[in-house]
């Protein structure tokens, strides 16, 4: 079993309640928004002190924090003690039936109620709304499709489809206003200056567009660029 095996069942149960769900957001395994309400879920294959610490850290962004673990075979003993601890800390609990073919998630315990709005809340919400595609929560050693990476892919696909262009033209074609900043910072090494104010993509970028783990994201923006 892997932590990432719990992501889809949890995403399904949250989506069914009207949440926009994204994995791996600003260090959170799962972040979900419904209106002004932000839920955060931290996943582990077993309940341990690290999981509790992570959940308590996420409470700086929202009161609606859950921990998620595989469904235990026995719901007494340690599991009952875990629920008592989580209640005292105001943390919710989700279990996932990884031992079943259905692999359904169940909300066992809700966290304390009440909205919280901090800079961390705003940063997480901004990241969620800045993404078109999702990353699987609980994954490791895999590039996460952040909102920033998505903006870079959008620029790269436009240049790939239409040829060298300026940041001003990119914005006119629908890119964010920070297009020039993205190109000039060139965090991924994807862009190169051809002439004053005119840019092209590098071989590093072309390799990424042709052989990568973000095929869904790239296909989407290639389609948009061809419109």
What pLDDT sits at residue 219?
86
Identify the weakest region by mean pLDDT among 38-42, 90-94, 100-104, 181-185: 100-104
Which two three-digit tokens encode residue 2?
């892997």
Q: What angle do CA 209, 162, 225 make, to 5 degrees?
A: 65
Confidence of residue 147 (pLDDT cuts 50, 70, 90): confident
Exposed/middle/buried for residue 76 (C-beta within 10 Å: 0-12, 13-18, 19+): exposed
**Range list for CATH 3.40.1350 in the chain:** 3-129
Q: For the whole prediction, is pTM greater than 0.75?
A: no
**Of the CATH numbers 2.170.270, 1.10.3720, 3.40.1350, 2.30.30, which one belongs to the domain with range 3-129?**
3.40.1350
**Could you give the CA distance from residue 33 to residue 31 in angstroms, rounded to a whole number?**
7
Tell me the per-residue pLDDT of 63-117, one tens digit each, with 9 for 90 and over.
999 999 999 877 667 888 999 999 999 999 999 998 877 789 999 999 987 777 7
Whether CATH 3.40.50 fits 147-225: no
Which two three-digit tokens encode residue 207?
């390799």
């Amino acid at each position: 079993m892997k932590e990432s095996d719990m992501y889809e069942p949890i995403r399904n149960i949250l989506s069914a309640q009207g949440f926009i769900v994204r994995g791996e957001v600003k260090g959170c395994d799962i972040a979900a928004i419904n209106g002004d309400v932000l839920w955060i879920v931290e996943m582990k294959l077993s309940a341990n002190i690290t999981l509790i610490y992570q959940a308590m850290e996420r409470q700086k962004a929202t009161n609606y924090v859950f921990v998620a673990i595989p469904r235990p075979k026995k719901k007494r003993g340690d599991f009952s003690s875990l629920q008592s601890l989580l209640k005292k800390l105001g943390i919710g609990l989700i279990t996932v039936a990884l031992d079943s073919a259905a692999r359904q998630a169940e909300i066992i315990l809700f966290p304390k109620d009440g909205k919280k709005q901090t800079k961390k809340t705003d940063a997480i919400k901004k990241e969620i709304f800045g993404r078109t595609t999702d990353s699987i929560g609980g994954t490791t050693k895999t590039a996460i499709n952040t909102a920033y990476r998505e903006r870079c892919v959008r620029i790269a696909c436009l240049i790939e489809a239409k040829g060298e262009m300026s940041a001003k033209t990119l914005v006119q074609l629908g890119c964010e206003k920070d297009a020039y900043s993205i190109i000039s910072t060139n965090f991924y090494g994807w862009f190169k200056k051809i002439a004053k104010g005119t840019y092209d993509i590098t071989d590093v970028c072309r390799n990424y567009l042709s052989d990568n783990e973000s095929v869904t994201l790239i296909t989407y923006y290639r389609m948009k660029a061809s419109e």
